[in-house]
Structure 1
Amino acid sequence: MKKVIAALALGMLIGSAGSVIAANSETVQATFAQFVIKVNGAEQTLKTDPLVVDGTSYLPVREVAGLLGFELDYDADTRTIDLTNNEKDVTPVNQSTAAAKVEEWVSLRDLMAKPGLSITLGPSDQGENTLSIGKEGSEPTRIYDVVVPQQDGTAEKSTSDNKSVKLKFEGGSILLPQDFLDRIGIQNQ
């Protein structure tokens, strides 16, 4: 009988502790929302609808990580979410709607051979090497502080459209990413 009373007392204690915690917890008003989610241009579907609280959207991190090609590990002891991606490029989960995005590079030499483009590399008014590229007769986009290094590699450079571009240097040549060329309206045919 004493064991039954002790068990009942313990159950009531645990139950009342939950009530105290619930009474001190903050409540928020949230609405479920449906968004169009695209990964590399391919529309994806979430199994769980996102929540919107005070104008901020909350998406299920495990699903979004999966859509982006990441693995998610959660450590409950430290409340740590660890996202890892061992792939070089993010591949959409739904392969039927989009091909994997592969980074394409175009050499500056190949671009200079194209008619209708204006390309210059030289010192700017401030004395730094600037690469200007655009269609003839239009305002070019400038890439600032372009210096070809002695070793191959990549470098992030700022541009005149207040963005940046990653340049690749290979064998003394400058290569530009096709997505940058698309951004400034130069198609690689």
Structure 2
Amino acid sequence: MKRVIASLAIGMLIGSATVAAAAPNTVQATIAKFKILVDGETKTGTTNQLVYNGTTYVPIREVADLFGYNTNYDGPKKTIEFASANETVAEWISLANFAALNEAQVGQPEDSDDIITIARSGIRLFGINKTGFTDGTESKVLTEDGKTIRVLKLKDSFMLNKEDLKAAGFKI
């Protein structure tokens, strides 16, 4: 009888170890819906985001679309390609990328929903008045030292002309 109980216990131990080894890796994440801002503009996402260990995960195809890019996925090669949805994008840089490259901050004054200010170390570089902009329209702004920068509204994002930025002494 002792032998039967011992063999049964060993069999159960091996069986439970096999089941534990066969269990898939799982994670616990929270589904959330965040407000997405691109160049100070609120974007409407079509999917929920996941939050796992303090990091938010957003579907890459949706983010690419928000920034004006098409995505191509090649499963066998395990590659994701981003291609500009608009040929003119090569001449332009997004306001967010410009700010990151130039260590600048993008914000809105508390008293105006129509103005976007770009500043570095608390010093205003230039501002963009959003009034009258529609998708595909272009306008000009002046930097604080009088340089002209062309601004394009593309897919609800503000894009800055790279040539103008370079002429004004900014990094691109």
Instruction: Pick the TM interval, shorter chain.
Output: 0.3 to 0.5
Q: Give the TM-score normalised by structure 1.
A: 0.40
User: Which structure has the higher relative contact order (CA within 8 Å, separation 6+)?
Assistant: 2
Structure with greater proportional helix content = 2
Q: Give the TM-score normalised by structure 2.
A: 0.43
For the pair shown, the structure with the greater C-alpha radius of gyration is: 1
